[in-house]
Structure 1
Amino acid sequence: MIATVTASPRPSTDIKLACRGVWKLFGQGAERLLADGRYPDGEAIRAAGLVGAVRDANLEVRPGEIFVIMGLSGSGKSTLVRCLSRLIEPTAGEILFDGRDLLRMSDREMIEIRRHRMGMVFQHFALLPHLTVLGNVAFPLAVQGIDRATREARARRVIELVGLAGREGYYPRELSGGQQQRVGIARSLAVEPELWFLDEPFSALDPLIRREMQDEFIRLQASLKKTIVFITHDFDEAIRLADRIAIMKDGAIIQTGTPEQLVLNPATDYVAEFTRHIPRAKVMSAASAMEPWREGAATAGTVAASDRIADIADRVEAADRPFAVLGADGQPVGLIGRQAVVDVLVGRSRGRQ
């Protein structure tokens, strides 16, 4: 069973962003309720006339990973991401960015970090209507005081990166919803952030454009390798994008793990219900369904241990011999054949526990 918080602390060099015991209580007297280190439950918070938006949150985000925070409306996920960037002041706890506590930084230091090291994209992308695409993307660089030639050159590079080359002179009203969202993403990327926060950036888009933007996001991340905290309420979106997922309920993080771990080993009934309708083939890896490697085995080809069953099912099912499963070092670690894939597709496989 997976723990309800992140794994035990790693060396600070392995962690880009962490929060330790973060609370956000709205209402008068919030600090007093937490002053002596108590951990009030929901009943005590309500009795004090407070709202427990974030309760004792703990997480760690590794460099270069997409860390998804998800939950239903009102679960606290958006409040938590605003605490992580200090757009909202937490009531208690620590928020560590490269090992430094953001809560101990001055307003001036936080402004510099947001201008130069953090990027943010929200559901409502708030483009400036009187500026062109180029002007919108270059705007945060102008705020930094970067000269016009430099900022426009950088803006043109990220505009091309998000697939909007040729539309630099367009105004927001002349763009589709998906194109406007690309401008918002480009504007955020223009500051070349080390840490990127995205709060339900695609939820206002129709399904086809949303899928297109997810594909674009995956392409961008493969190229840029940013450290990303991504907020969503859509588990299908989460499993497409995430390296790891934290599930929130009533302000608390109740389980953190890979999509595969959450589906195969839910820590609570809530997580089990949350993930119940997700086809296991979408999250299970070849490593979870393979049998041990046999030296000299005749194989039809190779798959990676991390490949998801849904992505390799057609090839494996069509072959009359198993496929060798290769580990990260390129060496065979197992075999996966037609029956193992069929078992996963029809729900007979329990996976590796």
Structure 2
Amino acid sequence: MTTEAVISVRDLWKVFGHKAEQVPRSAELSALSRRELMDRTGCTAAVRDVSFDVAPGEVFVVMGLSGSGKSTLVRCLTRLIEPTSGQVVFEGEDILGADKKRLRELRRHKFSMVFQNFGLLPYRQVLDNVSYGLEIRGAGRAERNRRAMEVISLVGLDGYERSYPDQLSGGMQQRVGLARALAGDPDVLYFDEPFSALDPLIRRDMQNEVIRLHREVGKTMVFITHDLSEALKLGDRILIMRDGRQVQCGTGAELVGAPADDYVRDFVSDVPKANVLTLRWIMRDRRDGDTLDGPELSPDVVVRDAVRPVLAAGKPVKVVENGTLVGVVTTEEILGVTA
């Protein structure tokens, strides 16, 4: 990742407990397991020496099981929780050095957060819930309403602007929360397990809504989840956490095709590889005797989408990138993933 990263996190720690600041400074203490650290110091290290970058327009997913530190991490990125040590550089500014006034400016103008608990104001209609952040900024009513109506339409809530939250389903309430986050036109949207309380079908609809919105508005997004299928569906890259530490960071294909350790391998063991891996992961070199007069496929084609053309060809299929032959894929490689 280059210096163009919107968010750059370096050596981030969040330790809860008496004299927490001593833990990151001590090689001995920082090397202890969570249980050992608690027994030794009474401290809990919720986030341990985490570093990553988020590129402009990227959907960056942080995932892990309960207690992995993922929600604490995202709160550190916005300083809803104060990190113990490290750096959180947002658009070139280390926000850990920002005073309260600057933090308010960042939260009002630069980033917004969508929570699992919708946090809607029950006595306000959808229109006024969505425009609340603009009201706090000091925008006039006409401007607030105009912008609120734009994002209400964007998230598919046309006709509900005069409804109250208790008149809406859970999925619709979450759309209101999403519209409220978008209303201020932030550079980055943070999502903290926003769909985990929703029914499976509604959750799927909201995942699709995030994909659609990202395609339309191109916002940088940091998305927290404990659901691997959700992470694979939404994320350009995924950071897996365990006991406060980062275990692996990469694309879905990298996690499934080259897991960093047994923990990640177990995590992705039930994922249908053909739905995640691309031809780049299964293609082989050209061999003498290969007849290459058939179709061409890109190395970035997902294996699932290549099954039909490869099987129909009945012979090696060229994998071509920028006009150059980079490999060959046959029925053997396809069946090795899909069988």
Flag structure 1 segments of 5+ consecutive residues without an equivalent: 1-9, 347-353
Deviates more, 1:256-265 or 1:229-238: 256-265
Match of 1:313 among 290, 307, 312: 307
- Deviation string 1:194-222 (CA, Å, 9 cap, x unpaired) is 11100111111111111111111111111
Contact 2:291–2:315 under 8 Å retained in 1: no
Match of 1:34 among 24, 29, 32: 24
Match of 2:3 among 1, 7, 12: 12
Contact 2:7–2:55 under 8 Å retained in 1: yes
Q: Structure 2 counterpart of 1:298, which letter?
A: D
Partner of 2:292: 297
Cα separation, 2, equivalents of 1:31 and 1:97: 23
How far apart are residue 320 of structure 1 and its match? 4.7
Secondary structure at the residue paired with 1:201? coil
How far apart are residue 33 of structure 1 and its match? 3.4
Match of 1:285 among 278, 281, 287: 278
How far apart are residue 21 of structure 1 and its match? 0.9
Cα separation, 2, equivalents of 1:234 and 1:341: 27
- Deviation string 1:67-108 (CA, Å, 9 cap, x unpaired) is 111100001000000001111001111111122111011111
Contact 1:12–1:98 under 8 Å retained in 2: no
Contact 2:256–2:276 under 8 Å retained in 1: yes
Q: Structure 2 counterpart of 1:310, which letter?
A: R
- Deviation string 1:105-128 (CA, Å, 9 cap, x unpaired) is 111101100100101101111111
Partner of 2:71: 78
Contact 1:298–1:321 under 8 Å retained in 2: no
Structure 2 matches for 1:195-274, cutoff 5 A?
A: 195-274=188-267
Structure 2 matches for 1:1-353, cutoff 5 A?
A: 10-13=1-4, 15-35=5-25, 39-42=30-33, 43-292=36-285, 297-300=292-295, 303-320=297-314, 324-327=318-321, 329=322, 333-346=326-339
Cα separation, 2, equivalents of 1:36 and 1:251: 17
- Deviation string 1:22-77 (CA, Å, 9 cap, x unpaired) is 11111111123334676342223541001111111111111111111110000100
Cα separation, 2, equivalents of 1:101 and 1:246: 21
TM-score, normalised with respect to structure 1: 0.88
Cα separation, 2, equivalents of 1:221 and 1:144: 25
Change (3 A) 1:35 1:297: closer
Cα separation, 1, equivalents of 2:19 and 2:65: 27
Cα separation, 2, equivalents of 1:81 and 1:288: 32
Secondary structure at the residue paired with 1:136? helix
Deviates more, 1:291-300 or 1:109-118: 291-300
Identity of aligned residues (%): 46
Change (3 A) 1:214 1:293: farther
Flag structure 2 segments of 5+ consecutive residues without an equivalent: none
Q: Structure 2 counterpart of 1:297, which letter?
A: L
How far apart are residue 289 of structure 1 and its match? 2.3
- Deviation string 1:276-296 (CA, Å, 9 cap, x unpaired) is 111111210122223457999
Cα separation, 2, equivalents of 1:173 and 1:203: 19
Q: Structure 2 counterpart of 1:27, which letter?
A: G
